[in-house]
Amino acid sequence: MAEAFVKSKLRDDKVTLFVKDGCPYCRNAVEMLKQYNFRPECLQVCDITGMQSVQEYFRQTTGQNTVCVFIGRHCIGGFFELQNIHYRLPCMLQQIGALHSKSGAGSAPQQHFLTSHSKSEHF
């Protein structure tokens, strides 16, 4: 069930963050990614608070004891790993087609991302 849930959220041209309510690292990862000019529905935030089976699935499949950030279908790790690749991130996001422009960082005033309930939110 956890595997099906996770796989249903991943897409080759999308960044997916699995977050827990109240987690400062999750909040920081979301804030970091909101700097980029994502195409609509190419940044998805899935709240897995209380979903122990999903956490266990991540531990088994990625070795991560934290919530995971996926670029396309590839898990890059958690917030610290996201920070460590920040200099490569614009290129990586452009390569998967998740950004509007080649410049990468927020040239548009609104950012779009999906919640786990698949509602589009604008920032």
> For residue 123, is pLDDT > 80?
no
Residue 24's domain is classified under what CATH number? 3.40.30.10
Supply the pLDDT for residue 43. 95
Q: Which domain holds residue 31?
A: 2-118
123 in any annotated domain? no
Its pTM stands at 0.79
107 in any annotated domain? yes
Q: What region, left, alpha or beta, does residue 118 occupy, with left being phi > 0 and alpha being psi -120 to 50 degrees?
A: left
- Domains identified in the chain, total number: 1
pLDDT in tens, 15-47: 999 999 999 999 999 999 999 999 999 999 999
